[in-house]
Structure 1
């Protein structure tokens, strides 16, 4: 592992491990990206996947929000769809439409098109290089988070060919071709485990697994086609790096809390539709919770955002909570409203601890 500068702010890592701290740490999903004018300036000259694939540009974009806001973590600028790319599928980022697969995996018979046992370090070495460079350029200011998409969510994109409201083509596989679905999920899981271990080796100090479309599965289907693979990922990464906190964000899967708390993830992310108090009753102090302000709350005025932060922090309580949004930043968010969110978390959480 490269030699990195000493860490000056380990707040988020300590909270992930269950330690008490002077305030609640805060970061924002999609904090590096489209709502920032400095990011837009980079994108004016470079295509999306060129930024992802160029370590110097990825590092620059990752650090932009750290320079602007008093955040407690950076998250590497990349994309969950680099895994399908490593498996041999072409992915394009189409302006105004989002991710697009020109040739998705439509039928179980097409699984043979996917690369068997891809060389992850060869295919995704640009992410590792970006992590190492970013970690050095952060100079210990805050920890660096790495991430991956979850197997079910990636399967949805690979079969559907892009974004979808219901991912019905992918969900149909679960019932029409369950054996093929499990083969695809396992193949993806194996790559994800190797990818995440490599991210830690390259400099990531915390990892998050995004299961963005978990909420489209019912409880039984989730336990069959999502949970076993999420567990494998946590176990595989922890075997290699037991010291690195793991976060799982299964958006919309309210029913999954009890199952997820029994896995080796240290942190469970909640979306904005979930009640923090109810979640705390389920998980207790067994794990740290992360979230969950409605991103659309950032369209409100300063006082609205501050009140929302107060309510959120009161709901989670002052222990084992990482403040975040319930999903990512929107492209038309005002950066100054993001600043109000971050600063309010600092102020309110410190006040709560001194009451």
Structure 2
């Protein structure tokens, strides 16, 4: 938390995003990981017990709200759940969308809230427990289909805004449910926002991100914005969403990110290449790359992380070097 507020820290925090990495080391299927909150929590806690990470998360997939809205879902054994077809294809279907209760017994949102609660009660005193939602723009893409919603932005912008308004309420409900379960911070993914222009981001994504984050802040929570992909073209707009922490993908120049977030007075994390710097790296190569980032970000509100999820096939030796890097290089 000190790194987020700009207070002095003993070392740079280590804040990876781990899903398949945690699931495989727990010896369970991804279907169980994404569908059983206790199994997810125990897998994350096990990683915390084995490695010196400073945060764990309830993130597993992008289809919690979409499922609870009524989408037809598939639950593969070894891959994340997904909607088998768009839930909304017409204006009438949009207006029939319910506002699901995030704590409804048996719902996918309630399952993640349960996972968050278990983690917070078990390790919340000495490890940051990060809840997770998808921001309204990303959620709308899950509900309509990515291509279909992108077309809606230009063909039916008023309808796109109507959907975003409805979805924002559910994202806020889901966020507050996880905060009430004990998570001090909510991670919020908005991957599809990296695919649109700055003008579209300012119209269709940013205002709804701001509303979600304002609601999180209103109850004393913190927010992390995680937009996968090359966000160089929207970095200067993203800082206005109000998030307390920003994830930086490896496709973004690290020096550019350092300058943008330092000038904005914001905390950020990243941006090791999950494949090049971890999966296909030796321990020595990974250590050297971590040292480069730590040196460049010295004095900034920075946390060491990969640009996105760390692959399951990353060796324990390389991951250990990553976790130990701030202590070993004095970061």
**TM-score for both structures, normalised by structure 1:** 0.84
| Alignment map for 1:29-68 (pairs within 5 Å) | 29=17, 31-34=18-21, 37-39=24-26, 41-43=27-29, 48=31, 50-68=32-50
Partner Cα separation in structure 2 for residue 94 and residue 55 of structure 1: 17
| TM-aligned CA deviation for residue 138 of structure 1 | 2.0
Q: Which runs of 4+ in 1 moved over 6 A?
A: none
- After superposition, where does 1:336-347 map in structure 2 within 5 Å? 336-347=317-328
Change (3 A) 1:108 1:317: farther
Tell me whether 1:169 sits opposite 2:148 in the alignment.
yes
Other structure's SS at 1:290 match: strand
Is the contact made by 1:261 and 1:286 (CA closer than 8 Å) also made in structure 2?
no
CA distance in 2, matches of 1:54, 1:36: 12
Q: Does 1:89 align with 2:71?
A: yes
Aligned match of 2:7 = 19
For residue 160 of structure 2, what is the aligned residue in structure 1? 181
**Alpha-carbon distance between aligned partners in 1 of 2:12 and 2:162, rounded to the nearest angstrom:** 41
Q: Residue 164 of structure 1 aligns with which residue?
A: none
2:23 and 2:318 map into 1 onto residues whose CA distance is: 12
- Output the CA distance in 1 between the equivalents of 2:243 and 2:98: 28
C-alpha separation in 2, matches of 1:130 and 1:51: 10
**What do residues 142-168 of structure 1 show as CA deviations (whole Å, max 9, x unaligned)?**
1211111111222222222xxxxxx43
Quote how far apart the aligned CAs of 1:320 are.
Answer: 0.4
Alignment of 1:111-150 (within 5 A): 111-112=93-94, 115-122=97-104, 123=107, 124-138=109-123, 140-150=125-135
Q: Deviations over 1:238-288 (max 9, x none)?
A: 1122xx321111222222222222332111111011123222322325111
Q: 1:224 and 2:206 equivalent? A: no
Residues in 1 aligned to 2:59 and 2:79: alpha-carbon distance in whole angstroms = 20
Match of 2:294 in 1: 313
1:38-97 per-residue CA deviation (whole Å, 9 max, x = no partner) reads: 33x222xxx61x433433212211212112211111112543310111222132233577
Structure 2: which 5+ residue stretches go unaligned? none
2-side partners of 1:102 and 1:290: how far apart? 33
Gaps of 5+ in 1: 1-12, 161-166
Q: How many residues align?
A: 324
- Whether the 8 Å CA contact 2:231–2:252 is kept in 1: the answer is no
